[in-house]
């Protein structure tokens, strides 16, 4: 297993930094915001479509990946996630999470529903970081494998295709690790007027606006100590993430007193960034932000250093979320900051076992997986499923289960408090788990360590390091 990194989660503010409302941001954004990330894990054997495997959590489960209708007293849960391909870093802890879940009393002994006990089968489907594969696997899981509930996690490339199929084919789905705006727009909702309530689908994670709100406090702190001209150089690609950031970031930053120096939108895979680097240097911008593909950032940052663009603080999104990408850049990654939606110091607990976030993180490391990975928070997918299934009369009735997931309230879960009927949510079916600011610093236990350096959006997270300038 590759070494993996920490990250955070929790409740969210209603108004972004600088007093710009969420709705005004998305009037500027129009309909088309999305945010993604990239990273590695579980190899799965085939079941119809390549990428499906099955694990048994109780002796009564079939454990077969083949198509078969569920027995009357068996609940089948399918999880579609990127376990291989460029986004596989997001799935790195998922196999371990399944192992932990199978050891909990409810999943080991079965769900008690209406006087009966239902055994539980968990089927894992590898999206291979492919939109097409994710959609095909969703159809297989629903139409052939007869799942009672689906999970989809980790970036729009996996989640949106699954959500479309689940909503169309009428299957309960819980999503994680996708910015809520991308998820909502994909289901034909409007973030500026969030009146649409998906019938079968819910999600928990952060939004694009939370990344701006995460970065601004770090710029303020570095600026106060080292000088602040309130200019932020921004390299946003010509893709869904870049387009979203171009729309969402400027009004929030303007409200906080910052001006963006935007490069021309560039094509993913660009190998020469000299023109934008020259633009950033001439602007004298104290800060830098972007939302690139991981390989593109490595190239861009190396050229920036070679050509003398050295901002006081670099804050990046979509990259450096997990140690593998950071390690690949070596010392060049020192003191670059990013966001994280879950960290071990959060005071949340498993609603299934009572284990704390720190206990789960320690167990992940002692099991040989290195630094804790933020997507240990995927554990909460199973907490939501248990809560929903045990509140219905018939776990095979998709409409009844779908209604139940929209009513789930878990005050203390691994990913943070879950309150789906919350009237303050940004859209129906959404729970926000905002990020903390982390910074890659030279480590003591590991060569590189992600230190929690800002908890403005998530004060429950413990600060574990001082925020350092990328370049003083």
Residues 136, 111: Cα–Cα separation, whole Å? 29
pLDDT of residue 165: 98
Query: CATH code at 422?
Result: 3.40.50.2300
- Quote the pTM value: 0.84
Provide the token pair at 281: 């240097």
Residues 224 and 366 in one domain: no
In a domain, 296, yes or no: yes
User: Residue 344: is it exposed, middle or buried by C-beta count within 10 angstroms (0-12/13-18/19+)?
Assistant: buried
In a domain, 18, yes or no: no
pLDDT of residue 45: 36
pLDDT of residue 51: 62
Q: How many domains does the chain have?
A: 2
In a domain, 349, yes or no: yes
pLDDT of residue 66: 35
3-state SS of 74-143 is EEEEEEEECCCCCCCCCCCCHHHHHHHHHCCHHHHHCEEECCEEEEEEEEEEECCCCHHHHHHHHHHHHH
Residues 349 and 410 in one domain: yes
| Strand ranges inside 297-382, DSSP E | 313-316, 336-340
Pick out the chain residues at pLDDT < 50: 1-25, 27-48, 57-71
In a domain, 22, yes or no: no
What are residue 299's phi and psi, to 5 degrees? Answer: -70, -50
pLDDT of residue 328: 84
Dihedral sign (CA 303, 305, 309, 315): positive
In a domain, 325, yes or no: yes
Residues 222 and 314 in one domain: yes
For residue 468, give every residue at least 6 positions away whose Cβ sits within 8 Å of its Cβ, in sequence order, or none: 335, 439, 441, 453
Residues 332 and 389 in one domain: no
Residues 223 and 353 in one domain: no
Residues 201 and 213 in one domain: no
16: part of which helix (H) or strand (E)?
Answer: none
Residues 134 and 247 in one domain: no
Give the pairing of strands 149-153 and 111-113: unpaired
3-state SS of 236-271 is CECCHHHHHHHHHHHHHHHHCCCEEEECCCECCCCC
- Asked if residues 4 and 343 have their Cβ atoms less than 8 Å apart, the reply is no
Residues 373, 386: Cα–Cα separation, whole Å? 23
Residues 229 and 91 in one domain: no
Of 208, 150, 189, 248, the closest CA to residue 429 belongs to: 189
Range of the domain at 300: 209-339+436-454
Residues 138 and 164 in one domain: yes
């Amino acid at each position: 297993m590759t070494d993996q990194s920490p990250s955070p989660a929790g409740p969210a503010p209603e108004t972004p930094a600088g007093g710009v409302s969420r709705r005004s941001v998305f009037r500027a954004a129009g309909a088309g915001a999305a945010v993604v990330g990239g990273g590695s894990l579980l190899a799965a054997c085939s079941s119809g479509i390549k990428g499906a495997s099955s694990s048994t959590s109780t002796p009564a489960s079939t454990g077969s990946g083949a198509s078969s209708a569920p027995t009357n007293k068996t609940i089948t849960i399918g999880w579609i996630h990127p376990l291989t391909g460029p986004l596989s870093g997001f799935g790195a802890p998922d196999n371990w999470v399944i192992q932990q879940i199978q050891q909990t009393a409810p999943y080991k002994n079965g769900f008690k529903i209406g006087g009966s006990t239902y055994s539980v089968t968990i089927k894992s489907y590898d999206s291979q970081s492919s939109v097409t594969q994710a959609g095909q696997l969703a159809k297989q899981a629903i139409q052939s494998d007869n799942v009672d509930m689906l999970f989809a996690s980790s970036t729009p490339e996996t989640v949106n295709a699954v959500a479309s199929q689940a909503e169309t084919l009428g299957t309960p789905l819980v999503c994680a690790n996708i910015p809520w705006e991308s998820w909502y727009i994909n289901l034909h909702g409007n973030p500026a007027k969030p009146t649409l309530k998906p019938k079968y689908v819910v999600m928990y994670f952060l939004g694009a606006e939370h990344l701006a709100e995460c970065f601004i406090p770090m710029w303020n702190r570095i600026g106060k100590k080292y000088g602040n001209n309130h200019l932020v150089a921004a390299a946003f690609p010509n893709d869904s993430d870049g387009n979203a950031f171009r729309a969402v970031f400027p009004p929030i930053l303007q409200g906080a007193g910052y001006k963006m120096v935007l490069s021309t939108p560039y094509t993913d895979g660009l190998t020469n960034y000299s023109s934008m680097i020259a633009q950033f240097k001439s602007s004298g911008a104290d800060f830098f932000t972007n939302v690139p593909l991981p390989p593109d950032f490595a190239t861009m940052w190396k050229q920036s250093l070679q050509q003398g663009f050295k901002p006081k603080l670099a804050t990046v999104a979509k990259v450096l979320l997990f140690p593998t990408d950071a390690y690949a850049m070596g010392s060049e990654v020192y003191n670059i900051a990013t966001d994280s939606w879950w960290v071990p110091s959060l005071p949340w607990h498993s609603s299934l076992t009572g284990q704390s976030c720190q206990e789960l993180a320690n167990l992940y490391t002692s099991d040989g997986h290195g630094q804790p990975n933020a997507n240990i928070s995927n554990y909460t997918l199973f907490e939501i499923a248990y809560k929903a299934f045990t509140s219905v009369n018939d776990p095979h009735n998709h409409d009844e289960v779908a209604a139940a997931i929209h009513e789930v309230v878990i005050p203390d879960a691994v990913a943070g408090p879950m309150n789906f009927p919350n009237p303050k949510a940004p859209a129906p079916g959404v729970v926000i788990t905002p990020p903390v600011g982390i910074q890659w610093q030279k480590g003591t236990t590991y060569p590189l360590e992600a230190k929690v350096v800002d908890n403005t959006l998530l004060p429950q997270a413990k600060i574990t390091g001082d925020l350092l300038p990328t370049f003083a």
